[in-house]
């Protein structure tokens, strides 16, 4: 088995701007020079391009810099308590998440608007007027937010992102979007992108036939984030209400913004060797994409097993070797990294290999079957 690793960085940013409108509590009239309230109007864009997997009520897809649909995100807000008390309440006291729409048109250099469903305003008092915000994605009806904890299903299709906690106020130098006030949406799952090929026609036609399904065994089903989630201990994964591990079927779609379905059962392409006529030859795997899965991170002490079902060969379970990132020596399938898992079908077994693609590039694993 061979492992190859390379690295690419991805982050999403939300850059706040200010506008004027609205109303406030009596005695907290705005001190803006125009005498009007300052509304919190964030905006967002991709700082380095790349891809992010999306799941919403009506669509599941992978987002890149040219993505053409809006995203639904959410924030939690806490404010300094009073003019004489600079402390903040705990996030567990927040009654509800603040849903917002991140407008389509993501690009590497341009930010697009994030609009709160219910308009939000900066505090208008002169002292102790700071607000803290922390954001996450996705914000779906099936997820929950209560007592400062966000619960999001890990189902193979949902990407889960979390921002750092930022503090700001209505003054231009301190407003969200000023220097040091940019929200970075960071991935909290690992992306496994599957590809497949056969080493020879015998393996494809006689040994296995077409690929019917790939299932990841014993996966964690729920991500829980205790806001603000700035410590590793505040982001946990479990099996939700089920006492047993969950088997997760690979998403049978392309891992790009087309979200194109892949037809199953899938015929295995066959490795080819071409004579170049000069005493050398060229070998091509001809491997093809067969789906993806976003999973809870797997540390160096963990393991990932996949069940591979074919028309003629039945179902076989194989383990994935955890890759090592040469840039920092980290081992495992890690948050924010994408891995290419190549399933190689032979007459004797499945040979997996893996590389990392898009996101932070984590490596390649090839499995021989």
- 56-94 tens-digit pLDDT: 323 344 555 556 677 788 999 999 999 999 999 999 999
109 CB neighbour count, 10 Å cutoff: 9
Paired sense of beta strands 222-226 and 190-198, if any: unpaired
Cα distance between residue 149 and residue 157, in whole Å:
21
Vertex 218: Cα angle to 214 and 220 (nearest 5)? 110
- The residue ranking higher by pLDDT, 369 or 213, is 213
Strand, coil or helix: what is 93?
Answer: helix
Strand, coil or helix: what is 320?
Answer: strand
Provide the pLDDT for residue 150. 96
Paired sense of beta strands 60-63 and 71-79, if any: unpaired
CA distances from 70 to 138, 172, 187 (A): 12, 28, 18
Paired sense of beta strands 360-368 and 337-345, if any: parallel
pTM of the model: 0.81
Q: Which pLDDT tens digit goes with each residue over 119-173?
A: 899 999 999 999 999 999 888 877 889 999 999 999 998 888 888 899 999 998 8
Provide the pLDDT for residue 42. 56
Burial 22-57 (b: 16+ CB within 10 A, else e): eeeeeeeebebeeeebbbbbbbbbbbebbbbbbbbe
Cα distance between residue 269 and residue 197, in whole Å:
5
Cα distance between residue 363 and residue 7, in whole Å:
8
366 CB neighbour count, 10 Å cutoff: 24
Query: In this structure, are residues 368 and 354 in contact, taking their beta carbons and an 8 Å threshold?
Result: no
Provide the pLDDT for residue 35. 46
Categorise residue 86: left if φ over 0, alpha if ψ from -120 to 50, beta otherwise: alpha
- The residue ranking higher by pLDDT, 303 or 258, is 303
Query: In this structure, are residues 171 and 122 in contact, taking their beta carbons and an 8 Å threshold?
Result: no
Alpha helix stretches (DSSP H) within 86-221: 201-202
* CA-atom Rg of the chain in angstroms: 24
Q: How confident is the model at residue 360 (pLDDT cuts 50, 70, 90)?
A: low
Cα distance between residue 156 and residue 292, in whole Å:
8
Q: Which pLDDT tens digit goes with each residue over 173-194?
A: 888 877 778 777 788 999 899 9
The continuous run of DSSP H or E covering 224 comes out as strand 222-226
Strand, coil or helix: what is 33?
Answer: coil
Q: Which pLDDT tens digit goes with each residue over 284-306?
A: 999 999 999 999 999 999 999 99
Q: What is the chain's mean pLDDT, rounded?
A: 78
Q: Which pLDDT tens digit goes with each residue over 305-358?
A: 999 999 998 999 999 989 888 778 889 999 988 899 999 998 877 666 554 444
């Amino acid at each position: 088995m061979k492992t190859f690793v390379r690295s690419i960085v991805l982050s999403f940013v939300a850059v706040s701007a200010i506008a004027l409108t609205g109303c406030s509590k009596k005695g907290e009239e705005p001190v803006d020079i125009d005498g009007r309230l300052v509304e919190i109007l964030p905006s967002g864009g991709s700082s380095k391009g790349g891809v992010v997997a999306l799941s919403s009520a009506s669509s599941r897809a992978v987002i890149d810099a040219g993505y053409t649909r809006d995203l639904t995100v959410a924030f939690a807000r806490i404010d300094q308590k009073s003019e004489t008390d600079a402390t903040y309440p705990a996030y567990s006291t927040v009654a509800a998440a603040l849903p917002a729409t991140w407008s389509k048109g993501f690009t590497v250099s341009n930010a697009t608007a994030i609009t709160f469903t219910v308009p939000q305003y900066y505090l208008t008092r002169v002292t102790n007027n700071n607000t803290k915000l922390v954001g996450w994605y996705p914000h779906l009806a099936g997820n929950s937010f209560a007592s400062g904890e966000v619960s999001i299903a890990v189902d193979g299709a949902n990407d889960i992102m979390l921002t750092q906690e930022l503090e700001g106020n209505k003054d231009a130098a301190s407003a969200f979007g000023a220097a040091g006030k940019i929200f970075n949406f960071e991935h909290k799952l690992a992306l496994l992108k599957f590809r497949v090929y056969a080493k020879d026609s015998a393996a494809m036609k006689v040994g296995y036939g077409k690929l019917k399904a790939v299932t990841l065994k014993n996966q964690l089903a729920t991500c829980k984030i205790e806001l603000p989630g700035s410590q590793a201990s505040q982001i946990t994964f479990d099996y939700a209400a089920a006492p047993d591990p969950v088997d997760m079927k690979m998403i049978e779609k392309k891992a790009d913004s087309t979200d194109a379905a892949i037809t199953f059962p899938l015929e295995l392409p066959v490795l080819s060797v071409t004579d170049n006529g000069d005493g050398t030859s060229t070998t091509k795997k001809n491997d093809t994409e067969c789906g993806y899965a976003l999973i809870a991170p797997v540390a160096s002490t963990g393991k990932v097993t996949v069940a591979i079902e074919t028309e003629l060969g039945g179902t076989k379970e194989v383990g994935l070797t955890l890759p090592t990132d040469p840039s920092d020596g980290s081992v495992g399938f890690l948050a924010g990294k994408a891995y290419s898992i190549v399933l190689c079908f032979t007459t004797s077994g499945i040979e997996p290999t893996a590389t990392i693609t898009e996101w932070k590039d984590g490596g390649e694993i090839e499995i021989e079957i």
